[in-house]
Structure 1
Amino acid sequence: MPQDTVRQFLDFEKPIKDLIEEIELTKERSEKTKIDLSDQVQQLEQKVTETRKDITRHLTDWQRVQLSRHPDRPYTHKYIELMTDNYVELYGDRNVKDDKAMVGGFATLGGQTVMMIGQQKGSNTKKRQLRNFGMANPEGYRKALRLMKLAEKFNKPIITLIDTPGAFPGLEAEERGQGEAIARNIYEMIRLKVPVICVIIGEGASGGALGIGVGDRVFMMENTWYTVISPENCSTILWRSWDYKVKAAEQLKLTSSKMNEFGLIDGIIPEPDGGAHWDYKVAAENLKKQLIQSIKELKTLDPQQRINGRIEKFSKMGFWEEYK
């Protein structure tokens, strides 16, 4: 993350916070006393690296949910900035207005033009309010569909970056056809003739994620989640309290490893030790590498093959038994 940004720490990241504070105190002491303490600082920095690795190895499902929401975590615009060149953002659904929670536009990725689309949460309180905390209205999903159709017209691959706690549940959103907008996107994305790659980069909740989540390839960043409902809301429905959110997170099987085991995604993109917020460039580079490889693979297929593959892929999802 940027050096001039004040780091924020989750509860289970306290050991890292303590070490970083000790590093700062050691550096200050070195400056005041004019004594070279670089070896001590180096040892502490090594401990930080080891602690990050140790925390990553022992994360619970709920802690991964917390990491996916980390306030320092890179969002869609940050990934676009680090992965692409010549990004030209496009606005509006040509019907109601421009939804700031849904962003997108043409960009150059690995020397080829692609359409980038994703939810944007905002990096501070004011921007989060502007972006509606990444919860798109119907016009956001219609804007996304307009951009997808534009990409199809010019035969450009589509990449969607999913990071939302869900579609906006307000009355006005329902009045303007929230359910229809999401359903329309799912229907149209299945039929797009160009390669479509979807990546959950943070939260992947409910229809808000599915509205831009139907593709030839669906990936998850390592510390993300993808399910029909958030652990808090699940806890509220089942136990009438948020107090069971940790248990709900475990029972929902929402982490990237579980989704991969169930065959609901095509792969997991690794993050830096401790989470993507520790090194934006490494996280973006890992994602970029996977995107370029997937586009290369998908371009070898005939458009109808890709469409048939998508239909088969999503039709086979889930487990069931038939009784006669």
Structure 2
Amino acid sequence: MRTYLDFEKPIADLEARLTETKKLAQHSGVDVSDAVDVLEQSIDKLRREIFENLTRWQRVQLSRHPDRPYTLDYISLMCDQFIELHGDRTVRDDPAMVGGFCDIDGQTVMIIGQQKGRNTKQRQHRNFGMPNPEGYRKALRLMQMAEKFRKPIITFIDTPGAFPGLEAEERGQGEAIARNLRDMMTLKVPVICIVIGEGASGGALGIGIGDRVMMLENTWYSVISPENCSTILWRSWDYKEQAAEAMKLTARDMKDAGLVDGIIEEPVGGAHNDHQGMAQILKSVILATLDELNALSPQERINQRIDKFCSMGVVLE
């Protein structure tokens, strides 16, 4: 059963009418093809109108949509084969961070990404997509393995943040993320980072240093979530919509600020409305970007990567 957000309710009402009309035709044998065509056109038009005029907060809601495809969904839809690799060789395996070698149209790549769950049991198992230090150490281990075998790296970012628990801090959460930032900067293989959902704080940045950093159309990338920003500034979550507008955290905002390299358009109605279509779009973008990066030497990629991130922000002396 599909889940509809508040601003999608008009679409839900029309789709319910469409379903009832089709059921009526099945039971009565009456030809309702004209009515079905009108309703389908109305749904398509309404969907386009709604999704062309989304607020920043609505895009944040879409990035968290429970039906939105996650890392393993994209892997299953894009890859011919996938061999998942586990463990950081120090503490344990972190289910919130997944990764392994896979084939995309005959090209072997290392895919690493944060993974959320579909139901309560899965969410607990995946820790709601919030990696512990061992998750980031596993990610770095897999990146170094990819570099050893000269395979490109693709990272999928989708996390509300690194896990903030006491045990995570005791095991060196900050150090693990900082090490990833340093070592990803000098990887010799092509690195593509894509925000597929939420991109929150250092939890996202821990696998977000690449030659190309891109965002799906209905995602966000920021140092803090709108709710937490609202709590800090107004002592209440009630101002999260105002916070989202002030933070300028959407894909378009990030592109305009020069913080990401590109925006990947989603199918009409959002990625949650068409998993297969979104996966095909993502696959074509990844392959085209890899062709572009493979034309550069390792040192050229490293130099461009360092220059790109060092040019971000404002420095006053």
Is TM more than 0.5 here? yes
Aligned to 2:197: 202
SS of the residue 2:31 aligns to: coil
1:107 and 2:99 are equivalent in the alignment? no
- Report the count of equivalent residues: 317
Counterpart selection for 1:188 from 183, 188, 202 = 183
* Secondary structure class of the residue paired with 2:82: strand
CA deviation after TM superposition for structure 1 residue 319, in Å? 3.1
Give me the whole-angstrom Cα distance separating, in 2, the residues matched to 1:32 and 1:208: 53
Structure 2 match to 1:17: 12
Q: Compute the RMSD of aligned alpha carbons.
A: 0.8
Q: CA deviation at 1:320?
A: 4.3
* Rounded Cα–Cα distance in structure 2 between residues aligned with 1:73 and 1:42: 27
Q: Aligned partners of 1:25, 1:295: CA distance in 2, in Å?
A: 47
Q: Does residue 303 in structure 1 map to residue 298 in structure 2?
A: yes
SS in 2 for 1:148: helix
| Residue of structure 1 equivalent to 2:83 | 88
Q: Which residue of 1 aligns with 2:130?
A: 135
1:153-232 aligned within 5 A: 153-232=148-227
d(CA) in 2 for partners of 1:203, 1:129: 18
Superposition TM-score, scaled by structure 2 size: 0.98
What's the CA shift for 1:29? 1.4
Aligned residue for 1:3?
Answer: none
Letter matched to residue 62 of structure 1: W
**Cα distance between partner residues in 1 of 2:220 and 2:227:** 13
2:62 maps to which of 59, 64, 67: 67
Q: Distance in 1 between matches of 2:236 and 2:269?
A: 30
Instruction: Report the Cα offset of residue 39 of structure 1.
Output: 2.0
Query: Whole-Å Cα distance in 2 between the matches of residues 36 and 321 of structure 1?
Result: 71
Find the aligned partners of 2:163 and 2:173 in 1 and give their Cα distance: 8
Deviation at 1:321? 4.2
Instruction: Supply the distance in 2 between the matched residues of 1:320 and 1:304 (Cα, whole angstroms).
Output: 26
Q: CA deviation at 1:91?
A: 0.5
SS of residue paired to 2:155: strand
CA distance in 1, matches of 2:287, 2:78: 10
1:273 is the counterpart of 2:273: no
Where 1:192 maps in the other structure, the secondary structure is coil
Report whether the alignment pairs 1:259 with 2:254.
Answer: yes
Structure 1: give runs of 5+ residues left out of the alignment: 1-5
CA deviation map 1:234-262 (0-9, x unaligned): 00011110011000001111000010001
| CA-to-aligned-CA distance 1:193-237 (integer Å, 9 cap, x gap) | 000000000000000000000000000000000000000000001
Deviates more, 1:187-196 or 1:28-37: 28-37
In the other structure, the counterpart of 1:116 is 111
Q: Which amino acid aligns with 1:185?
A: N
CA distance in 2, matches of 1:301, 1:269: 23
Q: Give the whole-Å Cα distance in 2 for the aligned partners of 1:265 and 1:271.
A: 17
Q: Distance in 2 between matches of 1:314 and 1:169?
A: 26
TM-score (norm 1): 0.96
Matched residue type, 2:95: K
Letter in 2 for 1:311: I
Task: Work out the CA distance in 2 between the residues paired with 1:281 and 1:319.
Answer: 40
Measure the CA separation in 2 of the matches of 1:200 and 1:224. Answer: 7
The one-letter code sitting in structure 1 at the alignment partner of 2:179 is: R
Tell me by how many angstroms 1:103 deviates.
Answer: 0.2
1:41 deviation in Å? Answer: 1.4
Q: Deviations over 1:266-286 (max 9, x none)?
A: 000000112101111111111
Aligned residue for 2:292, secondary structure, equals: helix
Tell me the amino acid that sits aligned with residue 308 of structure 1: N
Q: Which amino acid aligns with 2:124?
A: Q
Matched, 1:312 2:307: yes
* CA–CA separation in structure 2 for the residues paired with 1:74 and 1:244: 28
Give the letter for the 1:243 counterpart.
D
The sequence identity of aligned pairs, in percent, is 66
